[in-house]
Amino acid sequence: MCGSRQSTAKMSDSISDLKSEVKSMKESQETNMSTINNNVTDVKAQIIEMNTSITNLSKEQNQLKSSLLKLEKRVDIGEKKLEILENDISKLSVSSIPSTSHTGSQPLVNEELLMEFQERIRRQRNLILVGVAEQKCKNAEERHTRDDFDVMKILKAFQDIPTPIKIHRIGKYKLSDPTGCAQIHYDTSKCNTRINSSCMNDLTRSFAKASRMSCDDVDTMHFMLDKIEQKYKNPVDFEEGDFLSVLGDIFVENLKDIRIINAYECKKTNVDRDIVWLEELRYVYDKLYIKQGI
């Protein structure tokens, strides 16, 4: 009986030892699994970080390519302009060979030709304003003064507009237009080609208010606001010598009795045509906004 008790006690101790070992193995296994999970989490985080870095590098590479393409385009344009300039100078040099009968006056003629050529290059950046009424006075100085005054009255409609360097009349833009044209010269480094953000917000709020009130002109306002927003988000990147195409209108503001320019779209073009006014704008308006049969 005593031997049986001893055997039972030894077996109980063995079971206790086995339980302790199993518990110890379990704790060790859990610790190892926790460590493995933490390592897997760290690896995932590192992989995500690597993917983000690769994406950012790809974006920067694309931006660099885009900048290089723009730079190459500008270099090409500059080379073409330089080639044109060299050709014109070469023509001037050939045409300025002094003759025996005009040797004394030839340097002066060459200087005038060169000045005219430089003036033509500067004129490529200018603005042609349509709708300036022709003066009826006979005195040339008085006509020029009144032309300057009328042009500045029109340009007051713009915010932060630079003062023109020179203004002169160039004749009628169209034979059917009784008002004629005036060309306005600007220092392009001082021109504001971007819309003010506060002005953009005011236009958006005004359109939202008109939409809620079911204004009759909401379709027209939407078209004009869309054109302005496009210019706000993608301002025209003007370069020296670019030609511009402007869609707009000139009208009389009754309260102040002044003529105002209202431009809706402005973009670069390779055609020497500065302004699209009057007949073209009326065609667009009739085509898009005048309902037939009403």
CB 158 within 8 A of CB 261: yes
The distance from CA 152 to its chain's CA centroid, rounded to whole angstroms, is 26
267: in domain: yes
Instruction: In whole angstroms, give the CA distance from residue 26 to residue 277.
Output: 87
| Residues 119, 230 share a domain | no
pLDDT of residue 156: 74
Asked whether residue 71 is assigned to any structural domain, the reply reads no
| Structural domain harbouring 198 | 194-235
- Looking at the structure, tell me whether residues 178 and 228 fall in a common domain: no
Residue at 154 is within a domain: yes
Task: Note whether 133 and 215 are same-domain residues.
Answer: no
Helix (H, G, I), strand (E, B) or coil at 73: helix
204 shares a domain with 185:
no
Angle between helices 197-212 and 218-233 (to 10 degrees): 160
- Does residue 5 fall inside a structural domain? no
Question: Are 166 and 178 within 8 A, CB to CB?
Answer: no
Instruction: Please give the Cα distance from 153 to 147 (Å, whole number).
Output: 10
245 and 132, same domain (yes or no): yes
Cβ–Cβ contacts within 10 Å for residue 120, how many? 10
What pTM, to 2 d.p., does this model score?
0.24
Q: Would you state the pLDDT for residue 243?
A: 64
Residues in the chain predicted with pLDDT less than 50, given as ranges, are 96-103, 173-181, 186, 272-281, 289-294
Which residues touch 92 (CB under 8 Å, ≥6 apart)? 110, 113, 114, 117
Output the CA torsion sign for 14, 18, 21, 23: negative
The reported pLDDT for the residue numbered 267 is: 64
Residues 129, 149 share a domain = yes
Q: What is the pLDDT of residue 121?
A: 64
Query: 175 and 261 share a domain?
Result: yes
pLDDT value for 275: 45
243: enclosing H helix or E strand:
strand 243-253
Asked if the structure places residue 101 within a domain, the reply is no
Residues 155 and 245 reside in one and the same domain: yes
Looking at the fold, whether 111 and 231 belong to one and the same domain comes out as: no
Instruction: Give the pLDDT score at 274.
Output: 43
Structure tokens at 184: 């306005």
Vertex 156, ends 152 and 162: CA angle to 5°? 75
| Residue 164 and residue 249 in one domain | yes
Rounded Cα distance, 191 and 126, in Å: 11
Q: How many domains does the chain have?
A: 2
